[in-house]
Amino acid sequence: MELNKASTRNAWAAVDHLTRQVRNGDLNPALSQWVLAQGLDLDNTVFSSVGLFDDGIYTGTLVDRDGRVWEFLADLNEPAASEMDDVTHALGPKSPEHPKSDPCDLITMSILYHREEQVAA
């Protein structure tokens, strides 16, 4: 994928940085373990956003190894209270295939990043 604009490079860098943080356990090792406990392959999961919602509770969006997009609430204090919703079919302009998609959108970029990783593998 060619990153011709600074804004596109910035979006790529943001997704890359966050994905590496979660994969390496640098953001929070317990969050990385939670991702694994959901049956996700951490090495093939890409993160567009992760935010600390409350003490030990994270929300975010990820792309799984199959290219599906999930919104999640990871409650590290009470894992049974965690939620994951497959939002792939509701992406609209966040899907790279949508005519009004914007590669600077972090969800769109995470899908493109995931595809690039799959090609490189």
Does residue 78 form part of some domain? yes
In the chain, the number of structural domains is 1
- Domain span at 42: 6-120
CA–CA dist 105, 12 (Å, integer): 10
Q: pLDDT tens across 16-27, in order?
A: 999 999 999 999
| Structure-token pair, residue 35 | 């991702």
Q: Report the pLDDT value the prediction gives residue 25, as an integer from 0 to 100.
A: 95
| Structure-token pair, residue 70 | 């999930």
Does residue 15 form part of some domain? yes
Q: What is the pLDDT along the chain (121 residues), one digit of tens a residue?
A: 566 789 989 999 999 999 999 999 999 999 999 999 999 999 999 999 999 999 999 999 999 999 999 999 999 999 999 999 999 999 999 999 999 999 999 999 999 999 999 888 6
Does residue 35 form part of some domain? yes
Q: Report the pLDDT value the prediction gives residue 3, as an integer from 0 to 100.
A: 67
Q: Report the pLDDT value the prediction gives residue 4, as an integer from 0 to 100.
A: 78
Does residue 1 form part of some domain? no
Q: Report the pLDDT value the prediction gives residue 5, as an integer from 0 to 100.
A: 85
Three-class DSSP category at 18: helix
Task: Report CA-CA distances (Å) from 63 to 4, 55, 113, 114, 115.
Answer: 24, 24, 9, 7, 10
Does residue 26 form part of some domain? yes
Q: Report the pLDDT value the prediction gives residue 120, as an integer from 0 to 100.
A: 80
Burial class of residue 49, CB neighbours in 10 A (0-12, 13-18, 19+): middle
